[in-house]
Structure 1
Amino acid sequence: MSVLPPENIAKNTTYLTVALVVQKILSFFFFLFIARTLGNEGTGEYVAAFSLASIFGVFIDLGLGQVLIRELARRREKSADYLSNILTIKLFLSMVVFAALLSVIYVLQWFGQGHPPLSLVILAGAVMIIDSFALTATSIFRGWQNLWFESVVIVLNKIFILSLGVILLYFWPSSFIVALSILIGSIMSILILFYFIKWRLHLSWRLRLTRDIVIELKRLALPFALANIFAAVYAYSDSVLLSILQGNQAVGLYSVAAKTMNAFQFIPSAFMAAVFPAMSSYYRNTPQKLGQLLEQSLRYLLIISAPLAVGLFILADEFVMSLGTDYQSAALAVRILMPSLIFVFLSFPLGSLLNASNHQHWQTALIGFSMAVNVGLNLVLIPRFSYFGASWSWFATNVVALMIGFWLARRVIDYQFWPFCVSLGKVILSVGLMAWFTIMTRPLLPLVPVVLFSGLIYLIILLILRELTFVDIKYFVNLFRKPTVADAVLPPLTEV
């Protein structure tokens, strides 16, 4: 097993973090362009088709990507054997899953239920297959501890799709064109990855099945497969159920709110990617510091998420109207979902704690339970309240998941909850004054100055209350400058 020096680990983390941030930003702006160009019906068709394909796509990979990363990090010499067997397995699974995906559409059509157009599902299914093979390629690079190639492909893929999609949609606006642009981008990505693996790693793409390796992969992938299935159903079932029970127009209206909330999840994801090595180290060596690190992580993510949630809550009408009058009724869905942003942000440190402390099975169980709650609430609420019901379902599920996450965290470490409550009070006061300023000045000033001044007021109040200090800011910056355990030295806890 090869171990990278700290400076290379830092570079790897920086490469991937920057790439994922760029990917999320470009994806969100492309979605806004799609929503504005196609209206709620066309946007709903696109979202429903790719949501359905994403759920089925997890049955192609079945956790093999994570197994590949872990095993190649330990035994790089097994790369060729694992690659050839996984490619063969995925080729077979792709045909089975693609047939199952199309069968679902025909069954829904037979029973007269709503569904995305078949042509769109075919393109989304093709993207699903190609992306699964691309995942195998990126998993190899991660296993070899070289994230530069993956990072380059991520950025190139999004730039290409955005550029091609905008041009094609300008002349031929349709959800089919969106799917076609994504498919072409996926083909480009997989070709680049194939070339990198052949040129850089000198691995062949030969198909082969070895009985012992297949049995080993099956055993290793099962826990990952279960977690991935739970996560995929949890993330995409709301859009799929909306399409079936209420139609694609409801999906389009709901997706504006859901995509907006999801667009910000790269923030806690990047933050916890920087903190996770320290969590793992502290759990093994200095458990008392682990509790402090959890408290600080919760505090920082609360400080970041609160103004985002409140600001979008207040400006929901203006936001949805900027996409067109088709989305006017989506403002309420935005207001229902935006408070969930805080709960989602706070769940990241708790999930990372469970993973860092070798309690992954608890995290998997929590995701599975959350999935069951979300699907159950959707089945009850969507028929009565359409996309508003899906919004309330997501909100309630995230509240429940966060409460359970706190309870599980207390079973791992004995952390202090009172400092977080004090921080919560100060953040509520700060964001409340920010909200008052936003509401009072919005009729008088353009949107951009209002947002900038509101954010500045929030920051100043936090500094006055000593909920945020310049030491905190320096610590936060250092996490991403050198994301190693050594840099995760805790700043002093805020005086209360």
Structure 2
Amino acid sequence: MRIPSIPGFDQQALEKYFKNTGWLFIGKVGGLLIKMLVSIQVANYLLPENNGIVYGGTVFIYLFSAIASLGLDQFIVKELHQFPENRDQILGTSFWMKICAGFACFPLIWIAYQLYPPEGTPYKYVLIFSAIGVIQAFTVVDSYFQSQVRSKYIMQVQVTGNIISAIIKLALIYLHAHRVAFVYAFTFDFVLISAGYYFTYQREGRSVFNWAFNWSLGKKLLHHSWPLIISGIMVVLYMKIDQIMLQNICGPAEAGAYSTAANLSEAWNFIPSIIVTSLFPAILNAKRDDPERYKKRIQNLYDLMVYISLPIAICITFAAPIVYMLYKTQYAHAAPTLAVHIWSGIFVYLGAASSQYLIAEGYNKLTFVRTGFGALVNIGLNLILIPKMGMMGAAYATLAAYASATFFILFIPKVNKQGIMMLRSLFLISLFQKITKR
């Protein structure tokens, strides 16, 4: 099947990179469908209060996973592109850095829990979830296959892992398991994926036992990635802090209902990362060869993000009441929250594209400056809106935080043109211009 041409992109590049994207989409969409159906069953089994108690523990892990990953994934792909002959040192160094960072997060998570524990969530649950920071070190294999544009292997691992995970969770429901069993099951999901990465990498003459640590390379990677570590923390703060604040202000039951809306809304956020991962190599080639084409491709990327995210937001807004017919009646009041929360996805998509531009241009520090601004906006608005509006207040705060973080670059002179380009896409100005030229 021939892939339709998109103005500004070479057809040959599209064929190569979208075929890779296709495999990623198959894996992610397959995993999304499985996860959504199973998560609905788990939520209906646990009911809002227990669901909120379990989900509250994951927020700490999302926060510290940014530290445990060290922001290395994008730089691993870049290093493998530039120095493929150093594969074993690049992967080995990154792997052991992530292992060390994962263990270093254990005391940090304990301190964070002591300072601001989510109401009703025992530390035992948080401790179990903490193991994810170490387990996820095998994601370096994902970066390797991305660098090879061979994402079908990642798709196979993810789909297989999701199927096994679904079977385990459904079995726990059938056996009327205690809620702590689902904490172990969620953590075991990452064990499954990591095992899949290991066995997939071992094929075709590769071996993780050939990986080696290189101190100078480790210093180099950390020097470039530290802004992304801070940025990752800020992203999680303005994406997940509302969950803990809602749990502590309104109780676990309200947080449990809100988590269903947030998860359904954020489930679509894998799309921009896949598109950016697959298309940005072609955009970087244009940067090297033709500055004017580079600018056009960036604009086309922003346009594409809006073309995809806007229909999703519209469809989910109208479908929210129907979606919540799949949940028990205790969750029905979360449907309007989903209809609001889903619109934040538009800014997530644009932000993902513009972040890649900032990295390509060497403006790494700006990524955590703007996400830090978004985090402050989210925390401030949550403090004001949650006591008055409950979960709907958290949704409005999230929407405002995402928008403010994405368009913060309008106030930075050296990159404010990117903000204008995103506004052109958001208000469909670029689309109308393309239509009128034809």
The two structures have a TM-score, normalised by structure 2, of 0.81
Q: Tell me the amino acid that sits aligned with residue 57 of structure 1.
A: S
Larger radius of gyration: 1
- Aligned residue number for residue 257 of structure 2: 253
Aligned positions of 1:9-158 closer than 5 A: 11-106=19-114, 108=116, 114-131=119-136, 133-158=137-162
Provide the rounded CA distance (Å) in 2 between the counterparts of 1:300 and 1:217: 31
Provide the rounded CA distance (Å) in 1 between the counterparts of 2:216 and 2:362: 27
The two structures have a TM-score, normalised by structure 1, of 0.73
Provide the rounded CA distance (Å) in 1 between the counterparts of 2:77 and 2:276: 19
Q: Is the 8 Å Cα contact of residues 370 and 405 (structure 2) preserved in structure 1?
A: yes
CA-to-aligned-CA distance 1:387-430 (integer Å, 9 cap, x gap): 22211111111232344356766525985967864669xxxxxx
Selected match of 2:338 from 334, 337, 341: 334
Q: Is the 8 Å Cα contact of residues 283 and 357 (structure 1) preserved in structure 2?
A: no
Q: Is the 8 Å Cα contact of residues 105 and 115 (structure 1) preserved in structure 2?
A: no
Provide the rounded CA distance (Å) in 2 between the counterparts of 1:349 and 1:361: 16
Q: Is the 8 Å Cα contact of residues 347 and 405 (structure 1) preserved in structure 2?
A: no
Partner SS state of residue 239, structure 2:
helix
Give the Å deviation of 1:256. 1.9
Q: Tell me the amino acid that sits aligned with residue 121 of structure 1.
A: V
CA-to-aligned-CA distance 1:330-387 (integer Å, 9 cap, x gap): 2332233233334434444444444455544434432232223223322343344432
CA-to-aligned-CA distance 1:241-265 (integer Å, 9 cap, x gap): 3233433222212112211211222
- Aligned residue number for residue 404 of structure 1: 408
Please say which of residues 58-67 and 173-182 is displaced more in the overlay.
Answer: 173-182
Give the Å deviation of 1:494. 0.6
Provide the rounded CA distance (Å) in 2 between the counterparts of 1:282 and 1:84: 31
Aligned positions of 1:286-435 closer than 5 A: 286-290=290-294, 292-404=296-408, 410-412=416-418, 421=427
Distance 1:418 1:317, change over 3 A: closer
Partner SS state of residue 204, structure 2:
helix
Provide the rounded CA distance (Å) in 2 between the counterparts of 1:407 and 1:62: 28
Give the Å deviation of 1:97. 1.2
Q: Is the 8 Å Cα contact of residues 341 and 398 (structure 2) preserved in structure 1?
A: yes
Q: Is the 8 Å Cα contact of residues 409 and 419 (structure 2) preserved in structure 1?
A: no
Provide the rounded CA distance (Å) in 2 between the counterparts of 1:348 and 1:212: 30
Give the Å deviation of 1:326. 0.8
Q: Is the 8 Å Cα contact of residues 24 and 274 (structure 2) preserved in structure 1?
A: no
Give the Å deviation of 1:114. 1.4
Q: Is the 8 Å Cα contact of residues 242 and 382 (structure 2) preserved in structure 1?
A: yes
- Aligned residue number for residue 442 of structure 1: none
Give the Å deviation of 1:271. 4.2
Please say which of residues 15-24 and 252-261 is displaced more in the overlay.
Answer: 15-24
Provide the rounded CA distance (Å) in 1 between the counterparts of 2:185 and 2:178: 11
Please say which of residues 385-394 and 408-417 is displaced more in the overlay.
Answer: 408-417
Provide the rounded CA distance (Å) in 1 between the counterparts of 2:428 and 2:200: 51
Provide the rounded CA distance (Å) in 2 between the counterparts of 1:411 and 1:298: 13
Give the Å deviation of 1:66. 3.2
Partner SS state of residue 495, structure 1:
helix
CA-to-aligned-CA distance 1:166-209 (integer Å, 9 cap, x gap): 22223225432333223333223322322333443533448976
Q: Is the 8 Å Cα contact of residues 17 and 279 (structure 2) preserved in structure 1?
A: no
- Aligned residue number for residue 439 of structure 1: none
Provide the rounded CA distance (Å) in 2 between the counterparts of 1:233 and 1:227: 10
Provide the rounded CA distance (Å) in 2 between the counterparts of 1:215 and 1:143: 21
Q: Is the 8 Å Cα contact of residues 409 and 418 (structure 2) preserved in structure 1?
A: no
Partner SS state of residue 39, structure 1:
helix
Provide the rounded CA distance (Å) in 2 between the counterparts of 1:210 and 1:39: 49
Aligned positions of 1:261-300 closer than 5 A: 261-290=265-294, 292-300=296-304
Partner SS state of residue 386, structure 2:
helix
* Identity between Structure 1 and Structure 2 (%): 20
Distance 1:190 1:421, change over 3 A: closer
Provide the rounded CA distance (Å) in 2 between the counterparts of 1:417 and 1:326: 39
Q: Tell me the amino acid that sits aligned with residue 193 of structure 1.
A: Y
Give the Å deviation of 1:303. 4.5
CA-to-aligned-CA distance 1:274-319 (integer Å, 9 cap, x gap): 5434433444444444555455555554444444333433443343
- Aligned residue number for residue 493 of structure 1: 434
Distance 1:12 1:317, change over 3 A: closer
Q: Is the 8 Å Cα contact of residues 382 and 393 (structure 2) preserved in structure 1?
A: yes
Q: Is the 8 Å Cα contact of residues 66 and 224 (structure 1) preserved in structure 2?
A: no
Q: Tell me the amino acid that sits aligned with residue 337 of structure 1.
A: H
Distance 1:206 1:344, change over 3 A: closer
Partner SS state of residue 200, structure 1:
coil
CA-to-aligned-CA distance 1:80-120 (integer Å, 9 cap, x gap): 334444444444333331233234435556xxx61523332
CA-to-aligned-CA distance 1:210-269 (integer Å, 9 cap, x gap): 543443343233233233222232322222332334332222121122112112223444
Q: Is the 8 Å Cα contact of residues 79 and 90 (structure 2) preserved in structure 1?
A: no
Distance 1:83 1:334, change over 3 A: closer
Q: Is the 8 Å Cα contact of residues 279 and 356 (structure 1) preserved in structure 2?
A: no
- Aligned residue number for residue 235 of structure 2: 231
Distance 1:192 1:330, change over 3 A: closer
Provide the rounded CA distance (Å) in 2 between the counterparts of 1:422 and 1:13: 25
Q: Is the 8 Å Cα contact of residues 12 and 148 (structure 1) preserved in structure 2?
A: yes
Provide the rounded CA distance (Å) in 2 between the counterparts of 1:209 and 1:352: 28
Give the Å deviation of 1:55. 0.9
Q: Is the 8 Å Cα contact of residues 84 and 208 (structure 1) preserved in structure 2?
A: yes
Q: Tell me the amino acid that sits aligned with residue 35 of structure 1.
A: A
Partner SS state of residue 390, structure 2:
helix
